Every structure is written in C-alpha cells, then in structure tokens.
C-alpha cells in the first residue's frame, strides 16, 4: 500500500492508495494543535500590547509634588470627573491662594496640559524632564504658569506621596 499525502490548507488529508480502494483519512489532530497555537499566540500578543506600565501614563504623576526651592508651591495631580487634573496655586501667595485646575495628559514620557479657563486643546510642555523617574522632575516656569515672562526660570518638583 502506498500513501500519498495531499495538503490543502486548512484541511490535511492523507489518501491511502491500494489497488482495490482509495481511503481518505482526516487528520484533525494536527489542525487543532495549530489552531490552538495560533489562538494562544494572538492572545499573548494582545495581552502584552494592552498591558500598561504605571510609569508611562497619567497615574505616574498622581499625588502631591512640592517645589524644591519654595515648598509652599505644590502641584497636585489627580483624577477628577473621569479626567486627569493638575491643580496648582496661580497666585504664588500661600496666604491668598488662587487654585487653578487644568486637564493634563502624560503619554510616552511627554506631558501636555490645558490652559486655565479655556477649552483649547492640550499644549505640549516640552521642558518636562525627569531628574529621578517618578520622584523628581524639572519644568520651565513659563510653560506651567502662563503669566510668567521669564523663559529661563526652572522649577524642580519632588513627589511627596
């Protein structure tokens, strides 16, 4: 008896040839193994693609951050009404604080923030840099406080909690 293997994807069939009869045998087991393998690979890829690192999204900034040179100047990053909010004192006067809350986004190591009182798109804060990942960052003052005229003033913030 001779065996002739014919593959037509996705069905694998073995045809056993004999002088008197031809018999078709369905090989389901290899097909099922391949299908399970493909499904498990796709599932693993989707699971790894959906996994978020905490240090690369908005939650990495959640908490209070104090200015290293003026501890009264505190930034608070928090969730509020399904948005990520940055809260800070615009007045620089701890006795008469004037808090502003703006929406922010932190993706791929880049910080973007809204403008207080405007429904404008978020603007990039390209001076944002980590000094110590998730513990200390530096930012130019005029990019956070839009009323500042000095383009050389840097603020360093340290995480409190």
At 55-113, the pLDDT tens digits run: 457 788 999 999 877 766 789 999 999 999 999 887 767 778 888 888 999 988 899 98
Query: What pTM did the predictor assign?
Result: 0.60
Checking if the pLDDT of 134 tops 80, the result is yes
> Does the pLDDT at position 24 exceed 70?
no
- Separation of alpha carbons 76 and 64, rounded Å: 4
Report cis status (omega within 30 of 0) of the bond before 10: yes
For residues 19 and 26, what is the distance between their CA atoms, to the nearest angstrom? Answer: 20
Domain spans in the chain, listed from the N-terminal domain onward: 2-50, 54-159
Which range (5-9, 83-87, 142-146) has the least confidence? 5-9
Over residues 123-139, mean pLDDT? 92
Confidence of residue 1 (pLDDT cuts 50, 70, 90): low
- In order, the DSSP letters of 15-30 are EEE-SS-EEEEE-HHH
Q: Is 77 helix (H, G, I), strand (E, B) or coil?
A: strand
Q: Which tokens belong to 9?
A: 């994807």
Could you give the CA distance from residue 36 to residue 28 in angstroms, rounded to a whole number? 12
Average pLDDT, the chain: 75
pLDDT of residue 129: 93
In this prediction, residue 77 carries a pLDDT of 94
Architecture of domain 54-159: Beta Barrel (2.40)
């Amino acid at each position: 008896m001779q065996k002739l293997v014919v593959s037509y994807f996705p069905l694998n069939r073995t045809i056993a040839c004999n002088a008197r009869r031809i018999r078709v045998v369905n090989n389901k087991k290899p097909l099922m193994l391949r299908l399970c393998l493909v499904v498990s690979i796709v599932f693993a890829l989707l699971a790894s693609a959906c996994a978020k690192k905490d240090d690369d999204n908005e939650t990495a900034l959640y908490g209070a951050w104090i200015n290293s040179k003026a501890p009264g100047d505190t930034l608070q990053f928090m969730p509020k009404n399904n948005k990520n909010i940055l809260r800070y004192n615009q007045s620089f006067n701890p006795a008469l604080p004037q808090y502003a809350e703006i929406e922010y986004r932190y993706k791929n190591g880049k910080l973007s923030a809204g403008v207080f009182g405007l429904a404008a798109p978020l603007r990039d804060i390209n001076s944002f840099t980590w000094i110590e990942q998730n513990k200390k960052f530096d930012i130019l003052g005029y990019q956070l406080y839009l009323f500042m005229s000095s383009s050389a003033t840097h603020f360093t913030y340290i995480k409190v909690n």
